[in-house]
């Protein structure tokens, strides 16, 4: 009996040892998962050669040089609305009229009040003059208090005239405001009401644009904005007329970059071409040339944002991170810098037009690091 129990215990021990071995071997077979390297997103830009401005196209939308929504400054029912969409109008031409009768009544009332005020002033001045003559001939026949009262009456009559004249001016202006006139030569592009409708002050009635000349806003990257003032031979091609090149000039250069795209707005101005009619809202693309020569490019360098330049604390050198567009890896490159500009710094050596560089977070990058490009596009 005792021997049988010993065998059972021995069998359990063998089973336990075998089970433990199997579990240990299974644990050894498990391979630790490889840790994936974090890919850092990096803001980047492609540096540009300012002499290659013509090779790039900058899109924009045409807009009229002048455009306005006209509204009355007074309220009332329309009695005249002679214009329709598409009508050409001249400066000063009446485009709408409010019923003037109530405003004419106000003018007539103000004129009547002014006539009465003038009569009161004439009487008050005569009484004051008479009182002054009495005082000068016989001081005992009147008193200074009586003279002061006559003088106060005269001054009050004068003040009443000033007040009534202001009322008359306001009423006359309101009467004139019943006419809505074109502020410039243009074309009617929208109407917002119908004739005989009651309209409110400051409510748009009609929209007029001056399309004798056209403007278009394009957006340029930081690398070009400092040199855009040297742009020449600017041409715009609008999508509906791909064979027509419209000459343009720079009207205004923005001084504040967009927070999202880091581009600067540049307003182009152009006259209407003779062969086609450019309408507000048409899309187009602008190209141009820079008057700067290749020699000037070499001398001045390529402009980059200040945030793209860095210098390690222990090295007296300046670097940028060059990005390989194929491998999405960064490589540190030494560069030489030149003068500071309003929107960046000039790199005189070590950087070629067309290369991609990191422009933010440069102190967190490492040689050969995998990155994801957040592009800063000119468009």
Predicted confidence at residue 346, as pLDDT, reads 83
In DSSP terms, 179 is beta-bridged to: 97
Predicted confidence at residue 55, as pLDDT, reads 58
Q: Is 347 within 8 Å of 338 (Cβ atoms)?
A: yes
Domain 44-48+299-375 is in which class? mainly beta
Tokens of 192: 């917002």
Predicted confidence at residue 298, as pLDDT, reads 44
Predicted confidence at residue 4, as pLDDT, reads 52
Predicted confidence at residue 313, as pLDDT, reads 72
Q: Is 135 within 8 Å of 147 (Cβ atoms)?
A: yes
Q: How many CA atoms lie within 13 A of 291 on its CB side?
A: 7
Predicted confidence at residue 118, as pLDDT, reads 95
Predicted confidence at residue 2, as pLDDT, reads 45
User: Does domain 50-65+210-298 bear CATH number 3.30.420.40?
Assistant: no
SS (H, E, C) 69-97: EEECCCCEEEEECCCCCCCEECCCCEEEE
In DSSP terms, 215 is beta-bridged to: 63, 269
Q: In what order do the strands lie in the sheet with 198-199?
A: 179-181, 94-98, 76-80, 198-199
With 0.75 as the threshold, say if the pTM is over it.
no
Predicted confidence at residue 337, as pLDDT, reads 87
- List the chain residues with pLDDT less than 50: 1-2, 8-9, 52, 293-299, 376-379
Please state, in angstroms and rounded to a whole number, the distance separating the CA atoms of residues 90 and 181.
Answer: 9
**Domains of the chain: which residue ranges?**
44-48+299-375, 50-65+210-298, 101-176
Predicted confidence at residue 34, as pLDDT, reads 53
């Amino acid at each position: 009996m005792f021997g049988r129990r010993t065998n059972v215990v021995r069998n359990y021990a063998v089973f336990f040892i075998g089970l433990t071995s199997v579990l240990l071997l299974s644990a050894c077979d498990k391979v630790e998962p490889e840790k994936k390297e974090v890919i850092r997103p990096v803001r980047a830009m492609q540096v540009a050669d300012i002499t290659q401005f013509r090779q790039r196209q900058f899109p924009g939308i045409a807009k009229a040089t002048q455009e306005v929504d006209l509204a009355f400054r007074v309220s009332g029912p329309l009695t005249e609305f002679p214009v329709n969409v598409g009508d050409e109008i001249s400066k000063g031409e009446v485009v709408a009229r409010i019923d003037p009768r109530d405003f004419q009544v106000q003018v007539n009332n103000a004129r009547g009040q002014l006539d009465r005020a003038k009569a009161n002033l004439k009487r008050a001045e005569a009484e004051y003059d008479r009182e002054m003559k009495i005082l000068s001939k016989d001081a005992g026949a009147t008193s200074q208090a009586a003279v002061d009262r006559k003088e106060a009456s005269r001054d009050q009559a004068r003040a009443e005239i000033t007040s009534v004249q202001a009322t008359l001016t306001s009423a006359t202006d309101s009467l004139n405001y019943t006419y809505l006139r074109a502020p410039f030569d243009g074309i009617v592009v929208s109407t917002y009401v119908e004739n005989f409708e009651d309209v409110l002050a400051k409510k748009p009635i009609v929209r007029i644009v001056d399309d004798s000349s056209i403007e278009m806003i394009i957006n340029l990257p930081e690398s070009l904005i400092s040199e855009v003032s040297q742009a020449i031979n600017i041409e715009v091609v609008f999508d509906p007329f791909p064979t027509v090149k419209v000459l343009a000039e720079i009207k205004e250069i923005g001084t504040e970059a967009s927070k999202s795209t880091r581009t600067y707005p540049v307003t182009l101005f152009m006259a209407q071409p003779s062969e086609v009619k450019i309408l507000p809202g048409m899309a187009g693309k602008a190209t141009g040339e820079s008057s700067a020569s290749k020699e000037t490019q070499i001398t001045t360098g390529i402009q980059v944002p200040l945030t793209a330049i860095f210098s390690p604390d222990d090295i007296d050198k300046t670097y940028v991170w060059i990005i390989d567009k194929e491998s999405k890896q960064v490589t540190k490159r030494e560069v030489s810098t030149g003068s500071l500009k309003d929107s960046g710094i000039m790199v005189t050596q070590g950087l070629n037009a067309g290369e991609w560089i990191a422009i933010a977070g440069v102190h967190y990058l490492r040689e050969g690091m995998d990155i994801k490009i957040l592009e800063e596009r000119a468009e």
